[in-house]
Structure 1
Amino acid sequence: MARIVFDLDGTLIDSAPDIQAIANRLLAREGAAQITLRETRGFIGNGAAVFVARMRAARGLPDSAQARLHADFVAAYESAVTLTVIYPGVCAALDVLQSQGNSLGLCTNKPEGPTLAVLNHLGLTDRFATILCGDSLPQNKPDPAPLHAAFAGLGKGPAIYVGDSEVDAETAQRADVPFLLFTQGYRKTPVDQLYHTHAFDDFAHLPDLVAQVLVR
């Protein structure tokens, strides 16, 4: 069967409320205006350092504050799980895919500490045979190296990547693998402008889309 690797934030879980809460605590300390949930989702995707840089730029905070804000953000991020939720239908879809003999992995730009914290909190850790995080390798997505490493950790078989964002689409394209695009995540670009094999807005459709990819 297939090797199916998933992105995490915006694909399997909506972590934006927790991330927003951390960001706004930091901004309040700096005397800067709060960021909205929409802004938060727009800043997610390239890892914690890029998120902090985007947040800082949006509120006019100097480059010299980057290292300090990034360190404080990552420290708070380690345990930020209470507002994060699993998207509807995810667990049922994972059950079906595993029952069909597919092997499942995770490839995220989120650092390992907060990744494992939120997976453990939500009971998702044991779903994945391999987990590649933002600090697992020197490269981050959209470099295809982490995705290739995640697939390698799942052995042999057809490869499929599932994600939600511009970063995920570029990663899949550069890795030359089929890409299933979840349209309810943190994407900002119209679907028809992104590389994808199939798009879906409901995880109930995912097993059928995987089957369609496998018979191509």
Structure 2
Amino acid sequence: MTSSSRGTLIFDLDGTLVDSAGDIAGSLDTLMTEKGYAPFGLEQGRKLIGHGIANLVKGALRQRGVTDVDAAAPGLIARFTEIYGSRLTQITRPYDGVPETLAALHAEGWSMGVCTNKREMFARKIVADLDLVRYFVFVCGPDTFNVSKPDPRQLLETAKAVKGGDPLVFVGDSEVDVETAKSAGCPVIAMAYGYTKKPLADLAPDAIAAHFSEIPAALRRILALA
């Protein structure tokens, strides 16, 4: 740990730092239309988001009555990836308060990174396009270390790459993120506006934040109890 670092703060991407639902759902609707299925629209598409591209496409196929999802999925996953890769930040924007809060946390001395189940190339382009890359030492996807959340190794390897030392705190939005942090043995702050499929209170994160600007205060509470 460097003398200037307060510790390591790792963030999930989708549903935590950025609202990507419009581009993901739009890409899914393009895919569905191409393949002759009815599109989902934003609100229904949003409900399928949260567990990576493969699960998104497979969930969409199940909802459209495809009987052999495993056989149909690979080609459609590849096509979705192609479509989505062409419009990563067409609509996607940081959530309210994200740039300002990241700047404040950076000024406080936190060493920060991103740990997402979105492929690394896409994640890096999003944080670069949205002018957030300056705050992150390292951006990790499932292809970075060939392991993905909820496996805690993805988070722990990201933390090692950030080199901020202890304490390590994870900020996410879903049951996958909470499980990952608990398995890694570190505190987790859950954002209330993300893509969780379960009530956050039932997941028992160390803190729940309704707005990104609440993270510094949540960190102080968590560290005071440590």
- TM-score, normalization: structure 2? 0.91
* Partners of 1:11 and 1:162 within 8 A in 2: yes
The residue aligned with 1:19 is: 24
Contact 2:124 2:139 in 1 (8 A): no
Contact kept in structure 2, 1:47 and 1:134, CA below 8 Å: no
Q: Deviations over 1:163-188 (max 9, x none)?
A: 00111111111111100010011122
| SS of corresponding position for 2:46 | helix
Amino acid aligned to 2:170: Y
CA RMSD of the aligned region, Å? 1.3
**C-alpha spacing 1:108/1:115, structure 2 compared with 1 (3 Å):** same
Q: Is the 8 A contact 1:79 1:114 kept in 2?
A: no
> How many residues get paired?
216
Q: Deviations over 1:11-43 (max 9, x none)?
A: 000101101111111111121111132332222
Q: Residue 97 of structure 1: SS of its match in structure 2?
A: helix
**Whole-Å separation in 2 of the counterparts to 1:8 and 1:104:** 12
Secondary structure in 1 matching 2:162: coil
**2:148 aligned residue (140, 162, 165):** 140
1:176 aligns with 2:181: no
Query: 2:204 is matched with which residue?
Result: 195
Q: Which moved more, 1:204-213 or 1:89-98?
A: 204-213
Do structure 1's residue 86 and structure 2's residue 94 form an aligned pair?
yes
1:43 to 42, 48, 54: 48
Corresponding residue for residue 172 of structure 2: 163
Deviations 1:90-109 (A, max 9, x none): 11110111100010110000
Q: Distance in 1 between matches of 2:59 and 2:207?
A: 30
1:126 aligns with 2:134: yes
Selected match of 1:96 from 83, 89, 104: 104
| Identity score, percent | 34
Tell me what 2:117 maps to. 109
Q: Which moved more, 1:101-110 or 1:149-158?
A: 149-158
CA distance, structure 1, for counterparts of residue 154 and residue 101 of structure 2: 24
Q: Name the residue aligned to 1:52.
A: 57
Counterpart amino acid of residue 176 in structure 1: G
Structure 1 runs, 4 residues or longer, greater than 3 Å off = none
Give the gaps of 5 or more residues in structure 2: 1-5
Q: Which moved more, 1:174-183 or 1:113-122?
A: 113-122
- Counterpart residue identity of residue 33, structure 1: A
Query: Secondary structure, in 3 states, of the residue corresponding to 1:105?
Result: strand
Asked whether the equivalents of residues 11 and 163 of structure 1 are also in contact (C-alpha less than 8 Å), the reply is yes
1:208 and 2:213 correspond: no
CA deviation string 1:38-79 (max 9, x = no partner):
332222222211111111111123422211101111112223
SS at match of 2:25: helix
Structure 2 residue matching 1:24: 3-state secondary structure: helix
Q: Distance in 1 between matches of 2:187 and 2:152?
A: 13
Tell me how far 1:215 sits from its aligned partner.
Answer: 2.1
1:69 maps to: 76
Equivalents in 1 of 2:35, 2:84: separation in Å?
18
Give me the TM-score of the superposition, normalised by structure 1: 0.95
Q: Give the AA of the match of 1:148.
A: L
